[in-house]
Structure 1
Amino acid sequence: MSNITRRRALGVAAGAAGAAAGIALAGSAVADAPRPAAPAAGPTSFDEVYQGRRVKGGPSGGGHHGGHHGGHHGGGYSVTIDGEELHVMQNADGTWISVINHYEPVATPKALARAAVRELQGAPLVPLTLS
């Protein structure tokens, strides 16, 4: 015979029932929690002079490399510094990176352009050739 008592068996059953009820209530609270608003349509356009450099950004029509900038490469968004294209990419988490600061993601393409200008330290942006 086992050493389990009726009191112990009832205690275990009551604990399991209480845990199940708690999980159900927690699930209900999560289901009823307010959901965040849908993300905006995309980053806004910008055109400014930053540290003496003309930086521009806005939606693009697919880029000039046969649609290279569509999809995950910038999501159809183009950034230029003094008229030269800065190749950009939007990460899955919504942050942005470029060939200049690939390991330093930023929140917006405008912040990305400014970070690239700072990193260039006055040097010209050399066109990236893709082969």
Structure 2
Amino acid sequence: MSQPSGSSRPTRRQAIGVTAGALTAFILAGIAHAAAPSGHAMADDAHDMPEAFDEVFQGRRIQGTPGAGHMHHGGGYGVRIDGRELHVMRNADGTWISVVNHYETFATPRALARAAVVELQGAELVPLL
């Protein structure tokens, strides 16, 4: 079917193409918005930061301090065993791992520090270079 010359009405094919393009743009914009980090997630992380602890566990002094440690791994939380830093990392699901127990996750840095003491079996932490 051809349009008479001078008609400004779009063809069915053009209308479908414009609609499909608009829907695609709308869907892609929604996906991009959902994937973009929000300021709320960062604020929630600050509220989820575990409290400090300082205790003796199986004869070893373990300490945990918010705002300490490596920001890019531990999310700003430091853990020490007998004054030596235990490198820790917070996973995306909120659990914690360390260089001592790298394949086992823990709900809190305190639980992680206690497990590291058990795993060390009296050995000293060696600094990572």
1:99 corresponds to: 99
Take 1:117 and 1:127, find their aligned partners in 2: how far apart are those partners?
Answer: 15
| Structure 1: stretches of 5+ with no match in the other structure | 1-37, 64-68
Question: Secondary structure of the residue that 2:110 maps to in structure 1?
Answer: helix
Return the structure number with greater helix share: 2
Take 2:50 and 2:118, find their aligned partners in 1: how far apart are those partners?
Answer: 21
- Report the count of equivalent residues: 85
Give how far 1:128 is off.
Answer: 1.1
| Structure 2: stretches of 5+ with no match in the other structure | 1-43
The alignment yields a C-alpha RMSD, in angstroms, of 1.4
| TM-score normalized by the length of structure 2 | 0.62
| TM-score normalized by the length of structure 1 | 0.61
Give how far 1:59 is off.
Answer: 1.2
Runs of 4+ in 1 over 4 A off after TM superposition: none
Letter in 1 for 2:110: K
Percent of pairs identical after alignment? 69
Letter in 2 for 1:128: L
Take 2:88 and 2:82, find their aligned partners in 1: how far apart are those partners?
Answer: 15
Give how far 1:99 is off.
Answer: 0.2
Take 1:90 and 1:100, find their aligned partners in 2: how far apart are those partners?
Answer: 14
